[in-house]
Structure 1
């Protein structure tokens, strides 16, 4: 398995967008698969914000993650964000998510970012194991979530 930029594998954009839409599409009013695909394509930067990375094994997509400016409209002062961390169900439990998260942290560090944010409704323990700290728990779009921060050591 290796982690690479999504822009270097454009044939995977639609698949990753579909996985993200299936997982989180219901939480954004009016979202469509087409709109999610357009946003995924727009996030395909390299060495910049936004950027997207994918985990690939034997040519097969395992999952992906994004580095974006903002992921929570009620916390616009927090930037940038780790977002869209997703691993296919059959590939979970192998450390893929941890590798995706660490790659996004590395990307942010290379850009001079000092702290990174995320929110999650279910993966707090994963992020805590990777060194993320809780900032707050809140209700966001009717979903209880935890906002977390990672301080990048230089």
Structure 2
């Protein structure tokens, strides 16, 4: 049975866990923000439109997720929305789950009337390029090279 995709707002018991996974995975982005503060922001973001997150569940086990963020790059407040917080737990990788989550977020963005959306990554640019994303620009942040990418919907 393949994992099902649901909105995190309908499963609030998983919010703190998912926020912790993201805080750990992208630690360089959260250096200035304590975990508890991010967990509060992320939980609030499920209802205020800032971080609506689609999650993958098998039974009641959380496997991964992806968010449609209103703002995800302080350097570019002019852009949005964003594909953000993409993460699949190590034991659930290799089944195309990230791809399903990304497509789910793409559909959600399209249904909300957006013509395009954005992402930034520091090492997954090839993965996204193979899936229809194009490079908008490269920039430096968090002491590293970053890729700003765009996808038409």
Q: Same fold (TM over 0.5)?
A: yes
Aligned length: 151
Matched, 1:44 2:46: yes
- Cross-structure match for 2:133: 132
TM-score where L is the length of structure 1? 0.91
Moved over 3 A (4+): none
* CA distance in structure 1 between the aligned counterparts of 2:66 and 2:50, rounded to whole angstroms: 13
Which residue of structure 2 lines up, in the alignment, with residue 17 of structure 1? Answer: 19
Identify if the C-alpha distance between structure 1 residues 49 and 39 changes in structure 2 by more than 3 Å, giving closer, same or farther.
Answer: closer
Q: Unaligned regions of 5+ residues in structure 1, if any?
A: none
Q: Secondary structure at the match of 1:44?
A: helix
Pairwise CA RMSD of aligned residues?
1.5
Distance in 2 between residues matched to 1:142 and 1:151, nearest whole Å: 29
Q: What 5-or-longer segments of structure 2 have no aligned partner? A: none
Q: What do residues 74-114 of structure 1 show as CA deviations (whole Å, max 9, x unaligned)?
A: 11111111111011111111111111111111110000001
* 1:4-63 superposed Cα distances (whole Å, 9 cap, x missing partner): 1001111100110110111113323321110111121022149x5541110111221111
Give, in whole Å, the separation in 2 of the partners of 1:110 and 1:74: 27
The TM-score, its normalising length taken from structure 2, stands at: 0.92
Q: How does 1:1-154 map to 2 (within 5 A)?
A: 1-45=3-47, 50-152=51-153
